[in-house]
Amino acid sequence: MHIRIFRNKSIASDFIANLIVDKINSEKEFNLGLATGSTYLETYKNLVDAYKKNNVSFEKVKTFNLDEYLDIDRNHPQTYYHFMRTHLFNDIDIERKNIFFPPVDTHVYFHSFDDIIKRNKGIDLQLLGIGNNGHIGFNEPGTIFNSKTHLIQLDQSTREQNKRFFNDNIDAVPHYAVTMGIQTIMQAKEIIITAFGEKKAEIVNNMIYGRVSEMIPATILQNHSNVTVVLDLEAASVILRKRGWQDENNFYKLQNSY
């Protein structure tokens, strides 16, 4: 795992957006895996800005979102489809046919999403956030590592974490979602996992240095050959406290700009 620590989340988000822009511009086609939640809001804003400044076009880009809630209307403001439209898709030149979400129609096999990804030649770069309980996508603790896209019951802790998007009303947060599986995620050619804020500091430490275990899904990323962990100083606080600025594999460098 490559670990990059930035002074704050704005600088980190600049880094991620610029990396994505460079990759899109250097490839004929690019398949980008997307996450929702708060972590990538600034990255998406930067991507919109880059598009508006003509620094990038999304015409050749296909996107694959990690997850979607079940049992809420597709146009509900809290669906992840709606989130992505609001924060990215509506403001860039991506073609609607190139936007892919896990199927939430119960007549469709959920793992058909894996076939769609394969047919489109796989995900070049997958963006991930991390839950306070170590989830990636909505793969909650205990999800088997060889899972494909599947239906999942959300942990109470995840529903608590996400109630802020539902006017702090836990009862409004759906109980079920469809998520890319862990195997699906691990098949991405490259992964960026990002965490901001002190609340994530402990789980970030466990993800990087803990024993690989299905009880902390993000630990599986230790076995992927091309993962970059992007952190602000607060999310890095536990690893820095425990290891200083260097460990056996990584030399951490504080980046004030990228």
Residues in contact with ligand F6R by CB under 6 A are 35-39, 66-67, 129-131, 135-138
Provide the token pair at 43.
Answer: 């990255």
Catalytic-role residue among 31, 65, 67, 139: 67
Minimum gap (Å) between residue 150 Cβ and ligand F6R: 14
Minimum gap (Å) between residue 58 Cβ and ligand F6R: 19
Catalytic-role residue among 140, 150, 205, 232: 140
Minimum gap (Å) between residue 55 Cβ and ligand F6R: 25
The rounded distance, in Å, linking the Cα atoms of 237 and 60 is 39
Minimum gap (Å) between residue 44 Cβ and ligand F6R: 12
The residues, ordered by sequence, that sit 6+ positions from 35 with a Cβ below 8 Å of its Cβ are 65, 66, 127, 128, 129, 137
Residue placing its CB nearer to ligand F6R in the complex, 134 or 239:
134
Residue placing its CB nearer to ligand F6R in the complex, 111 or 135:
135
The rounded distance, in Å, linking the Cα atoms of 240 and 220 is 22
Residue placing its CB nearer to ligand F6R in the complex, 23 or 159:
159
Residue placing its CB nearer to ligand F6R in the complex, 37 or 60:
37
What angle is formed at CA 201 by the lines to CA 195 and CA 203, rounded to 5 degrees?
85
Residue placing its CB nearer to ligand F6R in the complex, 30 or 129:
129
Q: Do residues 141 and 155 touch, judged by C-beta distance below 8 A? A: yes
Q: State the residue number with the nearest CB to ligand F6R.
A: 129
Q: Do residues 241 and 198 touch, judged by C-beta distance below 8 A? A: no
Query: Is 135 part of the annotated catalytic residue set?
Result: yes
| Tokens 């990087």 sit on residue | 208
Catalytic-role residue among 114, 135, 162, 205: 135
Minimum gap (Å) between residue 136 Cβ and ligand F6R: 6
Catalytic positions, written as ranges: 67, 133, 135, 140
